[in-house]
Amino acid sequence: MKRQRFIFATLALASGLFLSATAQANAAQEALALALKAYVERQRLASPLPDLAISKAIEVQDFLMMNLAPDYGSVAGYQRDSGADGALLSTVLLENMFTSSGATLHRARDSNASVELELLVRVGSKLINKADTLAALAAQISEVLPAVEVRDQLLVATQRFDPAALIAINGGVRYLVLGRPLVVPSSITVDDWAGVFAAHLFQKDGKTVSHGSGLVTGTNPLQAVLELKQLLQKRGRFLKAGDLLALGSIGPAVEPDTNGRFEASFKTPFGGGRVVFALR
């Protein structure tokens, strides 16, 4: 009941702010209610979200995060993502979305699970906010973390890659399973970051489910950090030490049709790692 009252209060607050902003207020309010219900109930939307401008979709995302905070905690990082048109967008990573290798993850009853081999880095210092070159950025990354991301496919097929819809529903991000952190030595240079970042995902019978080398977008990891940082700063958000940045998928996202044990292996210029998890 307490959580329900919080949701109603936040929706009411959102209604007031949306109404004071633009003519898209009604669409934004409707989108928030639909996105919140779909995310909390882990149920695919029955119809598309209302059409939104990107600025309104960001407001919906912010209110969605406010509603999820009692269960998912505060902001722990951000993810660099993109829509069908290639336009960059960011999703928010909350504390309780993260779990460690060996975790058992529960599928949603009414939406498919999308699994990605993720390149994740940890911010070493708030000085990253002032870094405007790749060399300066490299000095502010303290760790690379092997990670597997699991998303709920909550959008209807026609909106699955729509930038505004993805922002509004926060990409459907549900879990990030982390392996042992790989320390980035202070002596590392930009050239080192141009090395191999490769990953494989295996199901319990040893069959390869997904694999790749480098980000699927072809972007250099440091360039991806720079783009994400700049995107966040346009929204008035600044990074701090310890923030986790998901830079994108290594290899294609997949929707496993079987449950059970999965294992991911990672190779980076800073060492290798593995992540083990189970889908139920």
Produce one character per residue of 172-211: b if its CB has 16 or more CB atoms within 10 Å, e if not: bbbbbbbbebbebeeebeeeebeeebbbbbbbeeeeebbb
- Does the pTM exceed 0.85? yes
Between 1-15, 65-79, 200-214, 220-234, the lowest mean confidence (pLDDT) is in 1-15
* Residue 23 pLDDT: 53
**pLDDT digits over 252-276, tens only?**
999 999 999 999 999 999 999 999 9
Q: What is the mean pLDDT of residues 136-144?
A: 97
* Residue 85 pLDDT: 77
Q: Which of 217, 193, 218 is nearest to 268 (CA)?
A: 193
Which percentage of the chain shows pLDDT scores above 70?
A: 91
Q: What is the mean pLDDT of residues 11-32?
A: 67
Residue 48: exposure state from Cβ atoms within 10 A (0-12, 13-18, ≥19): middle
List the 208-213 sheet strands across, edge first. Answer: 103-105, 271-279, 260-268, 198-203, 208-213
Q: What is the dihedral of CA 198, 203, 208, 211, to 10 degrees?
A: -30
* Residue 35 pLDDT: 97
- Contact between 168 and 51 under an 8 Å Cβ cutoff? The reply is no
